[in-house]
Every structure is written in C-alpha cells, then in structure tokens.
C-alpha cells in the first residue's frame, strides 16, 4: 500500500494535491512518495498548488523520512502555495513547525479537513 496515498482533490473550486498518511512514515515511504510528488508537480509547471497532508492516521515518522520530506519541500517550494496539515498529534505538529521554519513555507495545522479554508 502507498504511504502516503496521493490524489488530486477539489476544494473551493481549486485543485489540491492531497497526501493521506497511514501508520509509520519511513525512509522508503518517503523515497517512493517524493518521486511521485515530483512527477505530479511536473505535470503542472509554473502552477502554485495547495497541498493537504492528512496525518490523522499517521502514528509516527522516522527522522530521516522527515528530513528528506523537508528537503523536497524546499526544492518544490515555488510550486507550493500553502500546506494544510491535518493532525491531532503533537509530534506531527512539531514536525510541521520544523519543516515550516526550515523551508519558509506557509504551513497551517488544523485538526479536521473541514477546518481548511481556501
């Protein structure tokens, strides 16, 4: 199974790239997902895409996976409009804060997808 599952969704009439994480997010998961992520954004050159990271079912993550994810955010930041992180986990909120500081991306944390305001 893909972790995270990646799909295009519509929110308020805008195309958003949604990532749905499950269980533990490891280094191999990150490598596979990052390759697909790059491919997806390459199909929309010059577009700034809203990202949704649904982390409600994520239990934890490996530090190396977070570091790779963070580096990729930095690399792709010209195509990232805003990142909405959906979580109730303090660990994941802290990880999102680290990525935000490291990449200077606009990352907003909400506890439910219905709280996303686009």
How many helices (H) and strands (E) the chain has is answered by: 3, 5
pLDDT band at residue 98, thresholds of 50, 70 and 90? confident
How high is the mean pLDDT of the chain? Answer: 95
CATH number at residue 35: 3.30.750.24
Domain span including residue 94:
5-115
How many domains is the chain partitioned into structurally?
1
The answer, yes or no, to whether residue 95 has pLDDT greater than 80, is yes
Q: What is the mean pLDDT of residues 43-68?
A: 95
pLDDT of residue 1: 73
Assess whether pLDDT exceeds 80 at residue 85. Answer: yes
Asked if 3 and 23 count as a contact pair (C-beta separation under 8 A), the reply is yes
The whole-angstrom separation of Cα 82 and Cα 51 is: 6
């Amino acid at each position: 199974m893909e972790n995270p599952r990646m799909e295009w969704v519509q929110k308020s009439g805008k195309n958003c790239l949604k990532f749905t994480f499950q269980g533990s997010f490891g280094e191999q998961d990150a490598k596979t997902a990052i390759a697909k992520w790059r491919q997806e954004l390459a199909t929309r050159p010059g577009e700034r895409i809203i990202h949704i990271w649904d982390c409600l079912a994520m239990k934890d993550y490996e530090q190396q996976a977070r570091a790779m994810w963070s580096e990729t955010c930095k690399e792709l930041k010209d195509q990232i409009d805003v990142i909405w992180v959906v979580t109730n986990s303090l660990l994941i909120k802290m990880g999102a804060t680290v990525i935000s500081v490291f990449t200077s991306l606009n990352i907003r944390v909400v506890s439910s997808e219905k709280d996303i305001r686009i």
